[in-house]
Amino acid sequence: MVRHGFGYLLDQLHLTDFLPYHERFKKNVEEEQAAELSRGERVRLVLTDLGGTFIKFGQILSTRPDLVPKDILVELEKLQDQVPPVPFEDIKKQIENELGASLEETFEHFDLKPLAAASIGQVHAACLKDKRDVVVKVRRPGIENKMETDLEILFDLARLAEKHSALGRHYQIVEIVDEFAWGLKRELDYSVEGRNAERLERNSRQDENVKIPKVFWEYSSNKVLTMERIDGLKLTNLEAIDTRGYNRRVIAENLARTLLKQMLQDGFFHADPHPGNIAVLPDSSICFMDFGLVGYISPERKKQITRLLLALVRRDSSQIVKAILEMGVISKTTELQKLRRDMDMLISLYYSVPLGKLNLGAVIREILDLAFAHRVQIPSEMTLLAKALITLEGVIKDLDPSISIVEIAEPFAKKLLKEQFAPVSILKEVQDQLQDFFNIAVSIPKKADKVLDKTLEGDLTVKIEHQNLNRVLSYLDKMANKLSFSIVLLSFSMVMAALVIGSAIGRGGSDFFWQLPILEIAFVTSVVMFLWLLISIFRSGRF
CB 319 within 8 A of CB 307: yes
Question: Measured in Å, how far apart are the chain's first and last C-alpha atoms?
Answer: 24
CB 194 within 8 A of CB 222: no
CB 91 within 8 A of CB 136: no
Three-state DSSP class for residue 84:
coil
Which amino acid, 356?
G
CB 286 within 8 A of CB 258: yes
Instruction: Provide the phi-psi class of 331: left if phi over 0, else alpha when psi is between -120 and 50, else beta.
Output: beta
Bridge partners, 89 (sequence order): none
Cβ density class 444-473: b for 16+ within 10 Å, e for less = eeeeeeeeeeeeeeeeeeeeeeeeeeeeee
17, 66, 242, 272: which one is catalytic? 272
Q: Is 272 a catalytic residue?
A: yes
H or E element in which residue 272 lies? none
Residue 230 C-beta-side C-alpha neighbours within 13 Å: 22
CA 204/CA 19 separation, integer angstroms: 57
Instruction: Kindly state the DSSP code that residue 265 receives in the 8-state scheme.
Output: I
Instruction: Kindly state the DSSP code that residue 116 receives in the 8-state scheme.
Output: E
Instruction: Kindly state the DSSP code that residue 86 receives in the 8-state scheme.
Output: P
CA 178/CA 170 separation, integer angstroms: 15
Residues in the chain, total = 543
How distant, in Å, are the alpha carbons of 253, 298, 299, 381, 385 from that of 263? 15, 10, 11, 11, 8
Instruction: Encode 324-353 in three state secondary structure.
Output: HHHHCEECCCCCHHHHHHHHHHHHHCCCCC
Which amino acid, 325?
L
How distant, in Å, are the alpha carbons of 220, 353, 378, 411 from that of 313? 45, 11, 20, 11
Please spell the DSSP secondary structure of 199-255, one letter per residue: HHHHHTTT-TTEE-PPB-GGG--SSEEEEE----EETT-HHHHHHTT--HHHHHHHH
H or E element in which residue 40 lies? helix 39-50
Bridge partners, 210 (sequence order): 286
Three-state DSSP class for residue 169:
helix
Please spell the DSSP secondary structure of 467-486, one letter per residue: TTHHHHHHHHHHHHHHHHHH
Nearest to 323 by CA among 338, 341, 310: 310
Residue 142, number of CB atoms within 10 A of its CB = 11
Active site residues: 272
